[in-house]
Amino acid sequence: MTLLKQTLNATRFVMHSMTYPYNREIIKAQQPMKYSRRGWIALLTTLVVTSAGGYAAGWFSPNETTITELAPGVFFRKSQTEPVFLGCNQGWVEFKDFVLVIDANFPNQAAEVAKLIKKHTGKPIRYVFDTHYHGDHADGNMIYTAQGATAIASENSQLLFDTKGLDGFRKSQQSKPEEYGPLNYEKPTLLFPRKMVIDDGTQRVELLHFGHAHTAGDAVAWLPKQGILFSGDAVVNGAFNYTGDSNTASWVGVLTEIQTLPIKTVAPGHGEVGDEKLVPLQKRYFVELRETIQQAIDDGKSLDEIKADIELPFYQEWTGVDVRERTENIEFVYGELTSR
């Protein structure tokens, strides 16, 4: 029997407890992937060794989709970003009797992951958790809900799903009719204010909303037993930050809150898996970007001058991209600081 307990700040799902052994394996594969009943079998398999502690240009593999088992029953799928952008990174957690998917992705990628999970586990997908409303994280919800899953998100994301999310989905129906045409938009129906816990005794996942970061509704999935954070786009590993829906001052505050968690592994919204050093690295980008632009404003520089002259050497070391190439982020922060 499932016991549901809901309070003002948290929803907790408590299920029967049972130990669920799992053999650890790490697989790296190039697209396309093929799998057998015995597990993750790919055209090319090698041991994945990743580290977010030290960073250097050129370490990211944009033309690969990889699957890594971060801990028994906890999987991370890093999505290919070049030459074709396949969407966000995803995760899934195997509980005793069901699976939780973290971020739906685009519909075609959602279908691929749902098929993979069914073949590998034989368990139903009971929940799909959207870290935020953007299409590359949530447009594939209907793939999971059609199989009986419930879509989850933070309460603060509801308005965004109802407006910008729906508008983006309709635009994709026009631009990608072969993928979106026959599908209906599916927004999350299970919403939480600050915290929701799913715990059956074998796995525990805490869904946490700290505030406005990448979007106003950002939430993360935290696995306290393993020290694993699925961050959505609140934390990315590389030059993937998009500020168009953000509040960068609040984003810094959210990252400060996230840093209080005893993190061992970060599964970012885009880019390679990292360790606890990835969160302060992400925070440093926004802190230094804001400070540098503010100083330039104080010195009387125009936006065009700032875009031409700004330097953040560590950013290029981390991402392989000159900070000046992310002009939209410079323009956004300049607008925040000048209220324009």
3-state secondary structure (DSSP) of residue 127: strand
Q: Which pLDDT belongs to residue 332?
A: 98
44-53, 208-217, 282-291: least confidently modelled range: 44-53
Specify the pTM.
0.84
Tell me how many domains the chain contains: 1
Reported as a single tens digit per residue, the pLDDT across 170-200 is: 999 999 999 998 999 999 999 999 999 999 9
Q: What CATH number does the domain containing 270 carry?
A: 3.60.15.10
Owning domain of residue 203: 3-276
38-42, 92-96, 297-301: least confidently modelled range: 38-42
Classify residue 305: in a domain, yes or no. Answer: no
Angle between helices 327-338 and 248-258 (to 10 degrees): 100
Here the tokens at position 42 are 């790919």
Q: Which pLDDT belongs to residue 60?
A: 60
Query: Does 44 score more than 50 pLDDT?
Result: no
What percent of the chain is predicted at pLDDT more than 70? 82
Classify residue 165: in a domain, yes or no. Answer: yes
Q: Which pLDDT belongs to residue 289?
A: 98
Classify residue 311: in a domain, yes or no. Answer: no
Q: Which pLDDT belongs to residue 37?
A: 25
Arithmetic mean of pLDDT, 135-151: 98
Classify residue 42: in a domain, yes or no. Answer: yes
Q: What is the CA radius of gyration of the chain?
A: 20
* CA distance to 110, 127, 221, 302, 338, per residue, from 325 (Å): 31, 38, 31, 17, 21
Q: Which pLDDT belongs to residue 39?
A: 34
Q: Which pLDDT belongs to residue 64?
A: 78
Reported as a single tens digit per residue, the pLDDT across 218-271 is: 999 999 999 999 999 999 999 999 999 999 999 999 999 999 999 999 999 999
Classify residue 304: in a domain, yes or no. Answer: no
Here the tokens at position 68 are 């890594």
Spatial neighbors of 331 by CB under 8 A, at least 6 apart, are 303, 307
Query: Does 88 score more than 80 pLDDT?
Result: yes
Query: Does 51 score more than 90 pLDDT?
Result: no
Mean of the per-residue pLDDT values of the chain = 84
Nearest-5° angle of CA 185, CA 186, CA 187? 120
pLDDT band at 41 (very low <50, low <70, confident <90, very high): very low
Pairing verdict, β 220-223 and 204-208: antiparallel
Classify residue 237: in a domain, yes or no. Answer: yes
Arithmetic mean of pLDDT, 51-72: 65
Arithmetic mean of pLDDT, 116-131: 96
Classify residue 315: in a domain, yes or no. Answer: no
pLDDT band at 17 (very low <50, low <70, confident <90, very high): very low
Exposed/middle/buried for 6, CB within 10 Å: 0-12, 13-18, 19+?
A: exposed
Arithmetic mean of pLDDT, 194-221: 98
Classify residue 197: in a domain, yes or no. Answer: yes
Q: Greater confidence, 66 or 277?
A: 277
pLDDT band at 31 (very low <50, low <70, confident <90, very high): very low
DSSP characters for 42-72? -SS-------SSS--TT---TT-EEEEEEET
Q: Which pLDDT belongs to residue 271?
A: 92
Distance CA 73, CA 69 (A): 7
Arithmetic mean of pLDDT, 166-171: 97
Here the tokens at position 280 are 């302060």
Q: Which pLDDT belongs to residue 172?
A: 97
Query: Does 47 score more than 60 pLDDT?
Result: no
